[in-house]
Amino acid sequence: MQTAFHKFIKICRFPVLLIILFCTDKVCAQRLFNDTVLHEIKITFPTANWYDTLAAYYDATNNTDDKKTLNAFIEVDQVALPAPVAIRFKGEYSYKGFPGPKKPFRLNVSKSDKEQQLNGTKKFNLHNLAGDPSFLREYIAYDFMRYQGIPASRTAFTRLYINDIYWGCYLIVEEPEDNYFLERNFGTKSGNLFEADLTTDLHWKGHDPEAYTELKLQTKDKDGAWDKLISWMDLFNNYYQTDFQQQLYKTFETEAYLKVLATDVFTDNWDSYAANGRNFFVYEHPETTKLNWVPWDYNLSFWEKNLPPFPKYTNDRYQPLIWRIYDNPYLKRQYLETLCRTINYAAADYPLEERITRQRALIADAVMADSLKFYTNTDFNTNYQDAVTVTMQRGGVDKPVYLPGLISHWKKRRNSLRKELMALGCNCDEVDNKESEQPLVLACYPSPATNILHIYTESHLTALRYAIYTINGSLYTEGMLQLKDGSTVLNCSAYPAGMYYLVTYLHNKKSTNTFIKQ
Query: Residue 14 has what pLDDT?
Result: 38
User: CA-CA distance, 170 to 182, in Å (whole number)?
Assistant: 24
Distance of CA 87 to the CA centre of its chain: 24
Return the higher-pLDDT residue of 272 and 456: 272
Minimum mean pLDDT range among 65-74, 302-311, 385-394, 509-518: 509-518
Question: 126 pLDDT exceeds 60?
Answer: yes
Question: Which are the contacts of 200, defined by CB distance < 8 A and separation ≥ 6?
Answer: 212, 214, 215, 273, 277, 278
pLDDT of res. 496: 95
- pLDDT band at residue 18, thresholds of 50, 70 and 90? very low
Cβ–Cβ < 8 Å for 85, 108: yes
How far from 63 is each of 129, 219, 304, 380, CA to CA, in Å? Answer: 22, 18, 30, 33
Q: Is the CB of residue 175 less than 8 Å from the CB of residue 124?
A: yes
75-104: per-residue pLDDT in tens? Answer: 999 989 999 999 999 999 999 999 999 999
Q: Poorest-confidence range of 59-68, 246-255, 304-313, 427-436?
A: 427-436
Residue 453 burial (CB < 10 Å; 0-12/13-18/19+)?
buried
H or E element, residue 95: helix 93-96
For the segment 192-220, the average pLDDT, to the nearest whole number, is 96
Contact 478, 504 (CB under 8 A): no
| pLDDT computed for residue 461 by the predictor | 74
Q: How confident is the model at residue 439 (pLDDT cuts 50, 70, 90)?
A: low
Cβ–Cβ < 8 Å for 277, 199? yes
Query: How far is the CA of 509 from the CAs of 107, 109, 209, 437, 439, in angstroms?
Result: 56, 58, 46, 7, 6
Q: What is the mean pLDDT of residues 489-493?
A: 94
Residue 145: per-residue pLDDT: 97
Element (H, E) at 118: none
Give the separation between CA 107 and CA 104, rounded to whole angstroms. Answer: 10
Domains of the chain (ranges, CATH numbers): 4-175 (no CATH), 181-349 (no CATH), 437-517 (2.60.40.3080)
On the question of pLDDT at 68 being above 90, the answer is yes
Annotate 184-236 with DSSP letters as a single string.
Answer: HHHS-S-SEEEEE-S--------S-GGG-TTEEE-S---TTTTHHHHHHHHHH
Reported confidence tier of residue 12, pLDDT bands at 50, 70, 90: very low
Q: How far is CA 229 from CA 175, 181, 208, 474, in A?
A: 21, 20, 11, 49
Residue 34, pLDDT > 90, answer yes
* Banded model confidence at residue 13, pLDDT cuts 50, 70, 90: very low
Rounded percentage of the chain residues whose pLDDT exceeds 90: 79
The per-residue pLDDT of the chain, averaged, comes to 90
**pLDDT for position 459:** 67
Instruction: Tell me the C-alpha distance between 176 and 106, whole Å.
Output: 12
pLDDT in tens, 282-294: 999 999 999 999 9
pLDDT digits (tens, 9 = 90+) for 239-267: 998 889 989 999 999 999 999 999 999 99
- Residue 25, pLDDT above cutoff 50: no
| 445, pLDDT greater than 90 | no
Mean pLDDT over residues 178-187, rounded?
94
- Stretch (H or E) spanning 415: helix 406-423
% of residues, the chain, pLDDT over 70: 92
Mean pLDDT is lowest, of 336-345, 359-368, 434-443, for 434-443
